[in-house]
Amino acid sequence: MAAPIIQFGTSRFLQAHVDLMLSEAAAAGQDVGRVTVVETTGSPASRARIAAFREGKPYPVRIRGLVDGKPVDEERQVSVISDGLSAREDAARLAALFAGPVSTVVSNTGDRGYDVPETPVPTLEGWSTFPELLTALLFHRFEAGGGGMTLFPCELVERNGARLAALVDALAVRGGLPQAFRSWLAAECRFVDSLVDRIVSAPIEPVGAVAEPYALWAIRAMPGLVPPCRHTDIQVVDDLDFIERRKLFVLNLGHTLLADRWLREGRRQDETVREIIADPAVRAWLETIMRSEVIPAFGDRQDEIAAYFAVTLDRFANPFLDHRLADIAQNHAAKIDRRAGGLVRFATSTGHSSTFPMLGATFPDIAG
């Protein structure tokens, strides 16, 4: 029987992404570990979800969107979660579980999940942030003679595994933990870089969520790596950088182009991505930029990018999703530099493309 899995984070994203994949794999006959969900914030919403997870009952995920241009609206059940813990109120149970047969950890702790205080306390009694708690739990496991672990951080942070590993190592140093523990971390534990992508648009109370059909959990290959399950939406890849660039320069840049058009034309304040992409002139303009300037920048991988863009158009046109352009337009200048400017800098560095007339006319200040 597969070892249990610990999941840090109660978000509807994890509920409708990782947990759904694990459940679907189990339903297909795979030996998948049962999941214990841990909340670390103490917020009323997180604690309410933990109370529901403790019941161990299946919960719904409703998949709504377009696949190959056709609408999908169906409900699936997640049944892989067996328990829920509060990192503070159930500290003893969490420590015992962490020192036991668990070998896989998944996390998604929010936009600031990797923040640490100026004076960190990586102990089971003194922690205040997720990295401090994780360091303390890993040290507890080490002292108990436990084996190494594989950690799959799903936070939207570039090279999230490497960054989390560096944070834990630094906290071990600052906490005065022994060199033997640091050596154990480096030799026995895998902190895996990964990228997750799925729009999870709404919660279902007390647990459950509404999500789009598209889903991706891309995992950077490492020696000896075994994913927590096999699933069509899980990809173990040698080149995670390509997956990251694909998302940044197609999905994210597409959003920024649409937001810029919305701003320049003074369109309706509450207009959504679905509505603006339904405008034939806007759609034709976006497709021209993507097909004539963005896709060629990927050189010999253009066919893969073209296929991804076709899926992206379905995601933009999702009839069940109200994705407001006003929200996308926040921090617009920084997004232009990272997405449009980043594409130009990437293409220049690889020599795949050197001219971006339409992109340059839209964003005159981008590098290149």
Least confident of 15-24, 103-112, 141-150: 103-112
Cα 210 from Cα 202, distance rounded (Å): 5
Which tens digit of pLDDT belongs to each residue from 179-200? 999 999 999 999 999 999 999 9
Pairing of strands 150-153, 190-191: parallel
Quick check: 368 pLDDT over 90?
A: no
Which tens digit of pLDDT belongs to each residue from 19-37? 999 999 999 999 999 999 9
pLDDT for 354: 67
DSSP 153: E
Quick check: 271 pLDDT over 90?
A: yes
pLDDT for 351: 86
Cα 13 from Cα 61, distance rounded (Å): 10
Confidence of residue 141 (pLDDT cuts 50, 70, 90): very high
Pairing of strands 81-86, 35-39: parallel
Which tens digit of pLDDT belongs to each residue from 52-102? 999 999 999 999 999 999 999 999 999 999 999 999 999 999 999 999 999
Cα 1 from Cα 33, distance rounded (Å): 8
For residue 38, the tally of other CB atoms under 10 A from its CB is 29
> Which residue pairs, CB below 8 angstroms and at least 24 apart, start in 228-237?
228/5, 228/22, 228/32, 228/33, 228/104, 228/106, 228/152, 229/21, 229/22, 229/25, 229/26, 229/30, 229/32, 230/25, 230/30, 231/21, 231/24, 231/25, 233/21, 234/21
In order of their start, the domains of the chain are: 5-238 (3.40.50.720), 241-362 (1.10.1040.10)
Q: Are 79 and 58 in contact (CB under 8 A)?
A: yes
Q: Are 71 and 319 in contact (CB under 8 A)?
A: yes
Quick check: 367 pLDDT over 80?
A: no
